[in-house]
Amino acid sequence: MSAGLIFIYVVIFLAMYVQIFFLLTFIEKRKSIIVKNILVRLAHFPLISIIIPCWNEEKGIEKTILSLLALDYPKDKLDICIVDDGSTDGTWAIVQKYITHPSICAFTKENGGKFSALNLGLTKIKGEYVACLDADSRVEPDVFQKMLPRFTDPAVMAVIPAAILEHPETLIQRAQKVEYTMAVFFKKILSILNGLHVTPGTLPLYRSEVFAKIGNFRPGHQGEDMEMAFRMHAARMKIDQVHDAVVYTIPPRTVRTLFRQRTRWIYAFLNNLIDYRKMLFGSHGNFSWFTLPTSIISIVAVIGVFFFSIYNIISYITKAVARVHFGGFHPTYFTPNFDLFYFGSPTIFLIVFAYALVFCSIGIGYYMVEKRLPLSYNFILFVVVYSVVSPFWIMKAIYKVAFSRQMAWR
Amino acid sequence: MKFGKYILVFGITAVLFISAFILSSFLNVRKVENLRLLQDSLSLDLLSTEARFALLKESSCDSVSAETLLSQELGTLGERVAYMENQLGSENNDVIQLKKYYTLLESKEYLLIQELSKKCKHILQPILYFYNNEECDDCTKQSYALSGLVEKFPNLRVYTFDVSLDSPIVRTLKQMFRVDTTPTIVFSGVTYEGFQSLEDFTKLLPELAKEKAKQEAAVKTTTKTQ
């Protein structure tokens, strides 16, 4: 057996391990995960401050503000703080239209990065709870009513909602829809395991004491949301997720923008992992023993499978060239053989099993979000786009980390 | 944190993982059985061909067409046996048995073709090809050249023999044609050692080339008249 094949078996084993871990946790906790749509009426409405950092968001900012104003929550208990991080487009002009609204305050500053905008916001607010929202997102009216009850557990210091895509338009967005929906399931399970490694910009809700205890946002290698989650775990703070509290987000439309976004995410993850390396296999429960190792495994696996595939493609081409060189060109050489006799190697079964498990996760994700099964060709798009493009953004991120290059924000 | 769950998941994963291998080996057993059946049916075919040939001996050659007498399935069998060898390894007993049987069938068909060619001038020429799966870099090239050759001249029949196979038939053939090295090719009773390219073959087969040209010309005329 070749070393490449052994590597692939190890990768498939680990991938199956992770999927089964997720599914088993789901089966254990299925009753608490599949909640009935009963809205818990809150006995009291705490003051919530929402910080919206924005940089050149003239396209989305208005929609974001309007969705917040339409929240099903007492207006006097909402405090929306928009921080313009030195936009060069019409963002500030749009924000000014709303500045007179009693719940809204707005500030503009020189460009300094998202974390600096969030920190400015933190100095201007006084809510009992603090939420952060990217200016390209839109929230469902009942989002806080669904998230707040989680804070009855005193250990919970932050709650994140489910981020999903509303109307995917391009093929790249369709592929991401599958990923985001699957992520709802994964994040649910990670939250049960207390292993969420990111409080993304799609409306995480923090207790304001989090910042008093562990400090404000840090640059976090352009992943301030990831750094915050790492720091919270280091301080043994719990992050929960509510999958039926929905925030809609607009993901990258093109391969190019998706590539840039993901390179930034992986770059931030790797750098934060290096900064918090002591937490790997440390005393932080499933975060140390499941989340971090799983993320590392997935990065190694994607790159490994990529090179294994490249090796196979090259040897196939070399063989084809040799055949034509020594035997002349005959079309019959290249007609695929569909004889079932040649089907049935262990690798094929393993790949089928692994994909079946992934499909289960996607299925549960769809069921949780849309109450239906994912019978669409987006799944194929997802598999194609992510298996072809993701090795490149991972490799680029590793390269950048290795050579400590500064990443451009956009 | 409960490590018990980590171990339980490991157990489930291991069971699923191993079951892929069990499933595959179960299928391999079925495939070997399937090949044995195919070999038996080929053997029967050959026996019947021999009998038909003996019966038709006195009649005219027109009624003895090589295409109808010989089964095309020997090629498929060869490919499948090679696949099983690739899957199970050349040391596997089932593979060795399959290869021995296959070699036997090949030599029987070879003898039959010789007989046929003697009596009737069928343009069906056998090539014996001796190869070795190990320590023979030229064998891969040779196999490519031979499959190219068969594509070009469908009236050729290539019979392949693995010299490392411990079979009396292979030993006898090796002795008969003084095969010491691989690749070696035997064509029209002459032994050629070392790699023979497609061009080398084409030179060796002038009659076949002529016949092919004739056939092509005939096809062209028919199309024209149509």
- A92 within a domain of the structure (yes/no): no
Pair (B115, B128) in one structural domain: no
Distance, in Å, from the CA atom of B122 to the CA atom of B65, rounded to the nearest integer, reads: 8
Backbone angles phi, psi at B186, to 5 degrees: -115, 125
Chain B residues bordering chain A (beta-carbon distance below 8 Å): 1, 5-6, 8-10, 12-13, 16-17, 19-21, 23-24, 27-28, 31, 34, 80, 83, 87, 140-142, 144-149, 151-152, 197-198
Task: Give the residue numbers spanning the domain of A384.
Answer: 1-36+161-197+252-329+342-410
- Cβ count near B43 (within 10 Å): 14
Question: Taking CA B193 as the corner, what is the angle to CA B191 and CA B199, rounded to the nearest 5 degrees?
Answer: 90
Examine the domain organization and report whether B170 and B198 are in the same domain. yes
A17 chain-B contacts, CB cut-off 8 A: 9-10, 13
User: Domain end: B89, B119, B149, which one?
Assistant: B119
Q: How far apart, in whole angstroms, are the C-alpha atoms of residue A28 and residue A22?
A: 10
Other CB atoms within a 10 A radius of the CB of residue A404 amount to 7
Cα–Cα distance, A202 to A164 (Å, whole number): 10
Which residue from B1, B12, B24 is facing A344, i.e. has the nearest CB?
Answer: B24
Domain boundary among B100, B119, B138: B119
Q: What are phi and psi of A408, to 5 degrees?
A: -75, 140
Per-residue pLDDT tens listing for chain A (410 residues): 678 889 889 999 999 999 999 999 999 988 877 765 566 678 889 999 999 999 999 988 999 999 999 999 999 999 999 999 999 999 999 999 999 999 999 999 999 999 999 999 999 998 999 999 999 899 999 999 999 999 999 999 999 999 998 888 999 999 999 899 889 999 999 999 999 999 999 999 999 999 999 999 999 999 999 999 999 999 999 999 999 899 999 999 999 999 999 999 999 999 999 999 999 999 999 999 999 999 999 999 899 889 988 998 999 999 999 989 998 888 777 777 777 788 888 888 998 999 899 888 888 888 887 777 766 788 889 888 898 999 999 999 999 998 875 555 44
Asked whether residue A72 is assigned to any structural domain, the reply reads: no
Q: How many domains, chain B?
A: 2
Pairwise CA distance, residues A106 & A96, whole Å: 8
- In this structure, what DSSP letter does residue A170 have? S
Assigned domain for A241 exists: no
* Tens digit of each residue's pLDDT (9 = 90 or more) over A146-192: 999 999 999 999 999 999 988 889 999 999 998 998 899 999 999 99
| Residues B153 and B204 occupy one common structural domain | yes
* CB contact (8 A) between residue A344 and residue B28: yes
Asked whether residue A182 is assigned to any structural domain, the reply reads: yes
A288 DSSP assignment = I
B183 and B224 housed in the same domain? yes
Which position has the higher pLDDT, B66 or A277? A277
In this complex, do A12 and B17 lie within 8 Å of one another by their Cβ atoms?
A: yes
Does A323 lie at the interface with B, CB-CB under 8 angstroms?
yes
The β-bridge relationship of strands A137-139 and A238-249 is antiparallel
pLDDT recorded at residue A410: 46
Domain extent for B148: 123-226
Q: Are residues B107 and B129 in the same domain?
A: no
Do B145 and B81 have their domain in common?
no
Residues B99 and B197 placed together within one structural domain of the fold: no
Please check whether residues B141 and B223 belong to one and the same domain. Answer: yes
Same domain assignment for residues B170 and B205: yes
| A322 found inside a domain | yes
Nearest CA in chain B to A356: B16
Q: Which of these three, B119, B141, B172, is where a domain ends?
A: B119
CATH of the domain at B149: 3.40.30.10
Number of domains in chain A: 1
**Sheet strands side by side (includes A78-85):** A104-109, A78-85, A48-54, A129-133, A202-207, A156-165, A238-249, A137-139
Cβ contacts of B6 on chain A, cutoff 8 Å: 21, 289
State how far Cα A55 lies from the chain centre: 21
- The SS3 of residue B71 is coil
Residue A402: inside a domain: yes
